[in-house]
Amino acid sequence: MRANASAICSEFDEPAQYRITVLGRIPARWRDRLEGMTIMEHAPEAEPSSTTLLGELPDQAALVGVLTTLYELHLSVLLVERVP
């Protein structure tokens, strides 16, 4: 059991690709504050619109930083997904 828990913990200290979808729009100028993730807006003419962030983050601390920035923008997080 202990070895298995150790393997899971080590995965969060390594780079991983994430997809994060939020309700609303994210200005392109926020890209630097979002760890350089790609910003893809869906249905910009429709309300409510959604935005997906896609990119590699160095570790779980960086993921928390991105989620904190989204919180500061008052955006509702719809999905956080680690992608292969």
pLDDT of residue 60: 92
In this predicted model, what pLDDT tens digit does every residue of 30-71 receive, in sequence order?
A: 888 898 999 998 876 767 889 999 999 999 999 999 999 999
Domain ranges of the chain: 2-83
* Overall fold of domain 2-83: Alpha-Beta Plaits (3.30.70)
In order of 1, 14, 26, 41, 43, the CA distances from 66 in angstroms are: 31, 16, 12, 17, 23
Q: How confident is the model at residue 84 (pLDDT cuts 50, 70, 90)?
A: confident
Q: The pTM is what?
A: 0.80
Q: How confident is the model at residue 1 (pLDDT cuts 50, 70, 90)?
A: very low
pLDDT of residue 83: 94
